[in-house]
Structure 1
Amino acid sequence: MKLTSFALAIVLPALILSKPVDAQEASKEDLSAEVAKLKQQMSILANALKNVSENQKVIAREIGLIKPEQPSYSGPIEFDYSVFSGDKNADIVIMEFTDLQCPYCKKHHQLTYPKIKEQFIDTGDVLYANNQYPLASLHPQAEEAAKYLVCADEQGGFIKAKDGLFSKGESIQKRDFLNIPGLKELDHEKLTACVSEEKTQDFIEKSKELAIKVGVKQTPSFIIGLKKDSQLVEWKILGGAEPFENFKSVIESLKNKS
């Protein structure tokens, strides 16, 4: 039985029984009001159950219970909403979509990314494009964290801020941001002004839209391909906290094409 059907079967009778209406004594107005109130409660419950179902799907993808769907879009990808690390003349690009409160993203950043950086980014073989994909339904401070990270880049503090934000990860609270290593050293007035600007929110939203367009279903996800005329082509998606060897295999195969 689906979660929604099961929950409705349990909760709706309780809602109905908790609002007994004596049809013989109640006026039509009272009865109409009771019905309207019950419909509103049912609507709220239905929306809540829908959100629960969507969250379960996200969690299932995060832990690998559901395989990502194949993307319906396979064309070139723009770099308009990325923050770059590495040589912009590199032929190969890894475009990361991350959530700063996602434990699997943290695992990639702390364990796998350093190997990618050492063997491919620092050597000039790979350009790393950092994109934000905060899952607010799972991680309440992820979107705010993404804004702080993007704004840290304006002061040249992207890398240290990303390290600091991932060090806090799931435990980030709104009051923490200006005390996080990598952020606390920056100009706070400029930082908070940037975070509140509409252009920063738009930057994050456009990155999320791109993730949806290309078929990203979980965080972290990585689009790896060749750079041609400032676009990403011949790309494929790696989903989840993949081991370094999987990145290496894809990169080496692309080297033969570049």
Structure 2
Amino acid sequence: MDGSERLKGRAVRGGLVRILLGLCLTYTGIIQADTETEVKGLKSDIKALQEEQLAIKQELLEIKRMLSAEEPSNKSEKKAPAEPPLPITMNTIGSPFMGQEDAPVVLIEFTDYQCPFCRRHFEQTYPRLVKEFVETGKLKIVLKEFPIQKLHPVAPRMAMAAQCAGGQEQYWPMHDLLFQNQRKTRMEDLEDFAQALDLDTVRFRQCMEQGEYAHQIRADFDLGVSAGVRGTPFFFIGPLNKDEPGRVTVEHYLYGAQSYGAFKQSIEAYLDKENNQAAN
């Protein structure tokens, strides 16, 4: 049994143990419940447990898919480089961004709206980055679409929905809704999101049907491939180019749902460098 099989076996066994333990505890609680309030509370606990089970299953499937995708179908195939060929100059013109246009540090994120690890970043790290660095004018976040259709067949549709909302100045609110409701992928769901954001729904539907931003999404994806992106979320970090703000030379990268501390360390290293240069 190789490392990949051991990893999958360990992940599956761990997930099953958690599910079975939770079900046993829930069953015991139901037997002991003797009031309507307790029963309602237990029903709520069961619902939360079911949601957790679904999340565990989704992550286990994602790990399995990623491991399968990394196995070369032909041994003669050229493997992707272990490290992105840094430094890389990236064009950010036309891409949605959050923060001040002249923020001293730029974080370029390649994301997939159906990726559970991207959702984890959105839930656990992204809010702190926005509060601590974006809102204080220290960081600009640039978003690049990287829908991995082989793993997530509807991811391109979600990327298109975000871009179509961006065409009506609502990219980031749609970005949030897509991650908050990751299992809602039907066109009817996306139209509901558009309506909730007070978008012109006719224009939104036309944008989706005509694939108005297909070229932009393809360009983002191709840029990611050429830069060595091998999964999502994937982040590149670099200083602002004051002479050409639309072109960023990235010098560092982070892969996966990294902790807030990992981002903080990288961002503050550039801020310290900027402050030292200003002082000299």
Q: TM-score, normalised by structure 1?
A: 0.71
Q: Name the residue aligned to 1:111.
A: 124
Q: Name the residue aligned to 1:222.
A: 235
| CA gap 1:234/1:176 in 2 versus in 1, 3 angstroms | closer
| CA gap 1:175/1:134 in 2 versus in 1, 3 angstroms | same
**1:134 Cα deviation (Å)?**
0.4
Q: Deviations over 1:68-92 (max 9, x none)?
A: 8201353311113520100001110
Contact 2:146 2:224 in 1 (8 A): yes
Instruction: State percent identity of aligned pairs.
Output: 28
Q: Name the residue aligned to 1:78.
A: 91
Q: Secondary structure at the match of 2:143?
A: strand
The aligned amino acid for 1:77 is M
Please point out which of 237, 258, 271 is paired with 1:242: 258
Q: Name the residue aligned to 2:147.
A: 134
Would you say 1:97 and 2:113 are equivalent positions? no
| CA gap 1:145/1:198 in 2 versus in 1, 3 angstroms | closer
The aligned amino acid for 1:246 is A
The aligned amino acid for 2:172 is I
Aligned length: 202
For 1:125 and 1:71, the matched residues in 2 are separated by 25
Q: Name the residue aligned to 1:146.
A: 159
Q: Name the residue aligned to 2:269.
A: 253
Contact 1:103 1:170 in 2 (8 A): no
Contact 1:73 1:215 in 2 (8 A): no
**1:142 Cα deviation (Å)?**
0.6
| CA gap 1:242/1:68 in 2 versus in 1, 3 angstroms | farther
Contact 2:90 2:250 in 1 (8 A): no
Please point out which of 111, 133, 156 is paired with 2:169: 156
For 2:114 and 2:136, the matched residues in 1 are separated by 29
**1:122 Cα deviation (Å)?**
0.3
Q: Which runs of 5+ in 2 are unaligned?
A: 3-63, 72-79, 275-280
Q: Name the residue aligned to 2:213.
A: 200
The aligned amino acid for 2:69 is K
**1:187 Cα deviation (Å)?**
1.0
Stretch of structure 1 that moved more, 167-176 or 140-149: 167-176
Q: Secondary structure at the match of 1:93?
A: strand
Structure of larger gyration radius: 1
**1:221 Cα deviation (Å)?**
0.6
Q: Deviations over 1:41-82 (max 9, x none)?
A: xxxxxxxxxxx98871359xxxxxxx9820135331111352
**1:135 Cα deviation (Å)?**
0.8
Q: Secondary structure at the match of 2:232?
A: coil
| CA gap 1:174/1:147 in 2 versus in 1, 3 angstroms | same
Q: Deviations over 1:187-208 (max 9, x none)?
A: 1111122223454100000000
For 2:126 and 2:230, the matched residues in 1 are separated by 20
Q: Secondary structure at the match of 1:90?
A: coil
Moved over 6 A (4+): 52-55
